């Protein structure tokens, strides 16, 4: 019987979601000789390009640059003015093109990847139904694989009135064209800390409501401590163990009142909620392949969805809940495309050289960078996580400001460095850095963790003098080498 699907609607790989992971997996599949199409209902490039990583870093950089200049005597006296909010926001818009994805769409076309505009849903094995803006439905068929990369949405906590007053999430907080005079941020994680830093540097009076006793709760304690110190120095009000219970917005003044569990009432112009993410899988057609709508999609080390039989359904990026970071979505996409290509050729998918996570201890080589003031960065396991994994570890710390290169870089340089060493193997399994350049320095630690470089060899990687990287020499000396 002749196939009922038109030739132009059949591809080797159909990718649902044109964010960082979706773009890369389609590109890698095409490079491997397969055909691929990308389905996208919003802007190609995804959340990161327009409403998360890129605009938030564009908002943060001017304040960091000003602070860096003012950290050195002689330069400090030349920097006397405040930031220009209008120019900062205009610079952000140059990076995001205000959501115009024509450049990204052109890139897909140049790579030989058709872009199908519309909302994609699974419609059974190897089939995706796409509903366009006009309501027309088109069905795509995948010969080899369907890759789901829909991303996530901001999660809202169960606070009375929160879903009715028009609160900010990362999307509004990274795209706003005006600086709120007063901003209340609910959350204590990366997004909350970064955006509190950005809007405070632009002039907002910011209050951070943190449910727990510290910031960045899954990190080494020193990271949260240093970020808390930095936010306080910027003028951010930190309220720990504070839970918002009710929010209301005045219809006339548009002011928002945030009530907390200790009886306080905070009045502000906007409320930013940054308490986590939820998978964008409610309307993805998961039920047609036996999965539950709204769930995360667990995968194996080739990004194949484990709850579906056969080697045809994959999930990359935040939706698989492995490592919700843009750079890891791209990494997973490379792994996924390689596996699909190998299986299409009738060969087993060997990802041994690709795995950024260690089966013995979890996601052991995932770098993270937070652009607060001070910056903080980490890779691998915290001391607590390493001990919980049963590793025999030893942790060493060093004050980065005691390194000559750091003292030259900034007057009164503050920063902390911590290594977690697996004593049994003699290798670094975790590193956390705080202070200026932490986000750039972390890649050295990433290489050490991924390559499992023995400390006896690592000691011969001599850092140049006088650089901040000399902290590596000091950490190894503190360890006893």
Q: Please give the backbone phi and psi of residue 198, each rounded to the nearest 5 degrees, phi first.
A: -65, -50
**Residue 316: band (very low, low, confident or very high) from pLDDT cuts 50, 70, 90:** very high
Q: Is the pLDDT of residue 358 over 90?
A: no
pLDDT of residue 353: 46
Q: Is the dihedral of CA 158, 173, 282, 212 positive or negative?
A: negative
**Residue 45: band (very low, low, confident or very high) from pLDDT cuts 50, 70, 90:** very high
Lowest mean pLDDT among 8-12, 131-135, 224-228: 8-12
The proportion of the chain whose per-residue pLDDT surpasses 90, expressed as a percent, equals 93
Mean pLDDT in residue range 49-71: 97
pLDDT of residue 443: 96
pLDDT of residue 42: 95
pLDDT of residue 5: 43
**Residue 365: band (very low, low, confident or very high) from pLDDT cuts 50, 70, 90:** confident
Label residues 367-376 b or e (16+ Cβ within 10 Å = b).
bbbbbbbbbb
Sorted by sequence, the CB contacts under 8 Å of residue 151 that are 6+ apart come out as 17, 19, 46, 47, 280, 317, 318, 319
Sorted by sequence, the CB contacts under 8 Å of residue 189 that are 6+ apart come out as 215, 216, 217, 274, 275, 276
Mean pLDDT in residue range 310-319: 96
The structural domains of the chain, ordered by start, are: 7-45+101-153+279-344 (3.50.50.60), 170-275 (3.50.50.60), 368-479 (3.30.390.30)
Whether the predicted model's global pTM rises above the 0.85 cut: yes
Look at residue 187 and give its three-state secondary structure: coil
**Residue 350: band (very low, low, confident or very high) from pLDDT cuts 50, 70, 90:** low
Q: Is the pLDDT of residue 432 over 90?
A: yes
CA distance 152 to 103: 23
Q: Is the pLDDT of residue 431 over 90?
A: yes
pLDDT, tens only, 444-468? 999 999 999 999 999 999 999 999 9
pLDDT, tens only, 174-197? 999 999 999 999 999 999 999 999
């Amino acid at each position: 019987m002749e196939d009922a699907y038109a030739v132009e609607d059949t591809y080797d790989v159909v990718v649902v979601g044109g964010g960082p992971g979706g773009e890369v997996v389609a590109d890698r599949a095409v490079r491997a000789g397969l055909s691929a199409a990308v389905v996208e209902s919003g802007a190609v490039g995804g959340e990161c390009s327009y409403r998360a990583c890129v605009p938030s870093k564009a908002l943060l950089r001017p304040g960091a640059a000003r602070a860096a200049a003012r950290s050195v005597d002689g330069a400090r006296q030349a920097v006397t003015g405040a930031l220009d909010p209008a120019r900062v926001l205009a610079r952000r818009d140059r990076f995001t093109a205000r959501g115009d994805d024509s450049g990204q769409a052109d890139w897909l076309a140049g790579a030989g990847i058709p872009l199908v505009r519309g909302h994609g849903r699974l419609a059974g094995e190897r089939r995706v139904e796409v509903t366009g803006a006009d309501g027309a439905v088109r069905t795509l068929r995948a010969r080899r694989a369907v890759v789901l990369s829909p991303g996530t949405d901001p999660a809202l906590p169960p606070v009375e009135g929160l879903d009715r007053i028009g609160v900010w999430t990362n999307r509004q907080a990274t795209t706003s064209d005006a600086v709120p005079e007063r901003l209340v941020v609910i959350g204590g994680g990366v997004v909350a800390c970064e955006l509190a830093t950005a809007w405070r540097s632009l002039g907002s009076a910011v209050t951070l409501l943190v449910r727990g006793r510290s910031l960045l709760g899954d990190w080494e304690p020193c990271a949260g401590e240093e970020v808390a110190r930095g936010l306080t120095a910027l003028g951010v009000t930190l309220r720990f163990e504070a839970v918002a219970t009710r929010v209301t917005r005045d219809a006339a003044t548009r002011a928002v009142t945030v009530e907390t569990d200790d009886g306080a009432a905070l009045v502000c112009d906007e409320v930013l909620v940054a308490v986590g993410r939820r998978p964008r899988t409610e309307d993805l057609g998961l039920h047609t392949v036996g999965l539950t709508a709204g769930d995360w999609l667990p995968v194996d080390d080739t990004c194949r969805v484990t709850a579906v039989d056969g080697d045809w359904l994959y999930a990359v990026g935040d939706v698989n809940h492995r490592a919700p970071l843009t750079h890891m979505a791209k990494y997973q996409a490379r792994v996924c495309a390689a596996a699909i290509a190998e299986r299409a050729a009738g060969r087993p998918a060997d990802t041994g050289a690709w795995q950024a996570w260690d089966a013995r201890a979890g996601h052991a080589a995932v770098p993270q960078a937070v652009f607060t003031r001070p910056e903080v960065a980490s890779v691998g396991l915290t001391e607590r996580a390493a001990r919980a994994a049963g590793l025999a570890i030893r942790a060493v710390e060093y004050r980065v400001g005691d390194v000559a290169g750091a003292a030259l870089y900034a007057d009164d340089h503050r920063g902390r460095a911590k290594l977690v060493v697996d004593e049994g193997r003699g290798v670094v399994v975790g590193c956390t850095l705080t202070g200026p350049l932490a986000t750039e320095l972390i890649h050295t630690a990433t290489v050490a963790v991924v390559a499992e470089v023995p400390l006896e060899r690592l000691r011969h990687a001599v850092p140049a003098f006088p650089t901040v990287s000399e902290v590596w020499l000091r950490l190894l000396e503190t360890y006893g080498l």
